Chain A
């Protein structure tokens, strides 16, 4: 085991990992941050999506050691002072969540999208979420939620 230092959601943590261990594993097992999920484990489904230095990555195939010195954000960091982010509120409001397994990844992809492009077209939203699979919703309500969060009433 080696000890690495991770900056996650603004806080610095020391974590013991095996060489080459995935960031997802370090987050879930090392830090108890179980928001990011393992779906396929091969970078196909996006359930493990986190944001590193402003860009989304599939943390299941991202080496934990590579995240040292970078800013990692997970779904646990979206709410502040117990208050959901406007995007999270929109997901609740629009019924964008069914089983919920893909939602942490969806929220991180949508968060990164809106930070880079605050007024995305529907095509841009669909492209921004194209690396996140959902097996329940059919995506329509998720896209609606992101659109609503992008243009608050």
Chain B
């Protein structure tokens, strides 16, 4: 249905929001786009119906290239409805008029036909009694449900939702999500930019995780939420907070490092025993690592989702064997403490622009 290839968007001030987006959306799919703020999710959505003009790449909808000068853009836009964060209702018109103006003016329907359909749609979103009301008389959640009904009145083949609940009071989020959920059950093709992770997980057929101006990782909800493959996806999904520190020499400042870690632990309300173990693990791990062989980047990570704490070291290649060598004296004791404190230890070699580095992760056992 929609094929996006090498999509780019750079603003006139040089800000590159979309670097190289590639995606395919099939009829009947519900795609949720998630990711940190400022990674181009809404820009991508707005490019799909040309509310933003892409700087490069192509968007092909049902075989028609959106970027081609020959393409009837208004007609293509009719196929793609859009629901905005701030509803964008016509505030000077009644709800009924909001729902009828498009079908009458753009689809050529009679007022009677349009009203009949509007009543059906208002019933569908649970707001039939508000037909004569003005937008100002409605709550945020009701306005958004009207915006969805208005979008549906144009008989779109696909609906793009741009953070449909982010302007709403938390008590009103569920009523809007309920309507979107019911559209998904009816087989409507939808692309939803959202921060509602549980909703995205429940309603979507596929998830796009956007980061760094690309679709960084995509997969089924289970793949993305349970087994994310890439580092940045994992950090985002598991709501990982971290404290980072670089060690440049064996004479590093242990107290500065541990004070920073304690501040971090206190910020996330980690218990005294956990704080003690974090300090101990850090000191012992650093006894195992020769600190004179290059910079060691250290990160204390706390996953708010899983409530796990881990210590991660990124080091020059060559230190691995030292870590694994338990017979090395006088570090046998340090190694036994580290093993006693941790539920898991992993080591991987990763490629970086400056060359390969070793990432070692120590997961603190839960108390």
Q: Do A and B come from one complex?
A: no
Interface residues of A (CB under 8 A from B): none
